[in-house]
Structure 1
Amino acid sequence: MSRLYLIRHGKPAATWGEADEDPGLDETGKAQAEAARDYLLALPQADRPKRVVSSPLRRCRETAAPTAEALGVEVEIDTSVGEIPTPKALSAADRPAWLRGVFQGTWKDAQGDLDYDAWRGEIVESLHARGDTAVFSHYVAINAVMSHLEDDERVLVFRPDHASISTLETDGSSLTLVVKGREASTGVL
């Protein structure tokens, strides 16, 4: 079994529905990115990540950068650990209300342009072969993984704080939760 670290991005400089649809980190978020790096580097050598994977969105890339730099590796961009796709008919301003509705139900009930239960499965599948990796992702994508691991069909099963680190193990074909990351009340709901 090898370790996989699933990390929520640090605090962004803007939130849902604000003018910037791809914000970077604010000063708190930058400090959280450095704290995540420090945590990962303090692990025993055998448990440290060897690769760094990030959602393509700026807040994740900026959270991943200090860890990648410290490890001497490039940040690998992977859309499969990206943010949940918004239905094409919705504007950025409509996204918060749509997400609040999604959070109230199950993956099979989520309304949009695609099968969100299948989207959840794709995220989980993408992580199976990612041992020894730090994966920087998003609130909803992390919930997709946690709901799978807990065999819970609800969309919202975990409230990862900014830069929360959950530890998983993989044998290449399955995932196991070792330690769930820090939860907090966030601005998501």
Structure 2
Amino acid sequence: MAHLKRLYLIRHGKPSATWGGDDDDPGLDEAGQAQANAARDWLMALPPDEQPTMVVSSPLRRCRETAIPTAEALGVEIEVDPRVGEIPTPAALSPEERGPWLRKSFAGTWAEIEGDLDYDAWRREIAASLASRGNTAVFSHYVATNAVVSQLMGVPQVLAFRPDHASITILETDGETLTLVEKGREATTGVL
């Protein structure tokens, strides 16, 4: 039997702007920077055999900035992986239409999301991309985290839970199969 490795799926810290705002790729605000440091501290306090040895991030700035303290503490480069990025928005939508599209999507199932691609297949692809990793900190997004958690829980709903900023969801992998160990801290408000 293969040795199980830990994988940490971390939602980015609080951004300086929310989706639908003027900045389509905001960095972290002061609270988000503190959350990024807190995530690093939590990860570095793990037993040595459970600590991440690699850091992976969505291409978006808020995730990369959340990943920086952990990567620096580990002395590793951040691997940017678009597969753990934000949910792809249909090409026909304007920036102003993205918010209503997301809200409608959140209320349904993965198969019901309207758009240019098969979003149920998109969530399976994210989970599969993580299964081959181990001892890795992956900095991602609210919807991408839900994609993985809902897939592993076997539920069709888009919102399997509400990960807070810098929430850390713990997964395990044997290199092929991914399992959910513990969902991260949940937010008390909606997506911010």
Smaller-chain TM-score bracket: over 0.9
What residue number does 1:10 align with?
A: 13
Helix, strand or coil at the partner of 2:13? coil
* Counterpart selection for 1:83 from 77, 86, 91: 86
- What letter matches 1:20 in structure 2? D
* Counterpart selection for 1:173 from 164, 176, 182: 176
CA RMSD of aligned residues (A): 0.9
- What letter matches 1:121 in structure 2? R
Separation of aligned partners in 2, 1:49 and 1:114: 32
What residue number does 2:42 align with?
A: 39
* Residue correspondences, number: 189
Matched, 1:20 2:20: no
Separation of aligned partners in 1, 2:157 and 2:99: 18
- What do the CA deviations read for 1:68-93 (whole angstroms, capped 9, x no partner)? 00000000000000000000011111
- What do the CA deviations read for 1:1-60 (whole angstroms, capped 9, x no partner)? 000000000000000111100000000000000000000000000000000000000000
TM-score, normalisation: structure 1: 0.98
* Counterpart selection for 1:97 from 75, 78, 100: 100
Helix, strand or coil at the partner of 1:73? coil
What residue number does 2:129 align with?
A: 126
What residue number does 1:110 align with?
A: 113
- What letter matches 1:61 in structure 2? R
The Cα shift of 1:187 comes to 3.9
Runs of 4+ in 1 over 2 A off after TM superposition: none
CA contact (8 A) 2:19 2:99 kept: yes
TM-score, normalisation: structure 2: 0.97
Which structure 2 residue ranges, 5 or more long, are not aligned?
none
- What letter matches 2:76 in structure 1? V
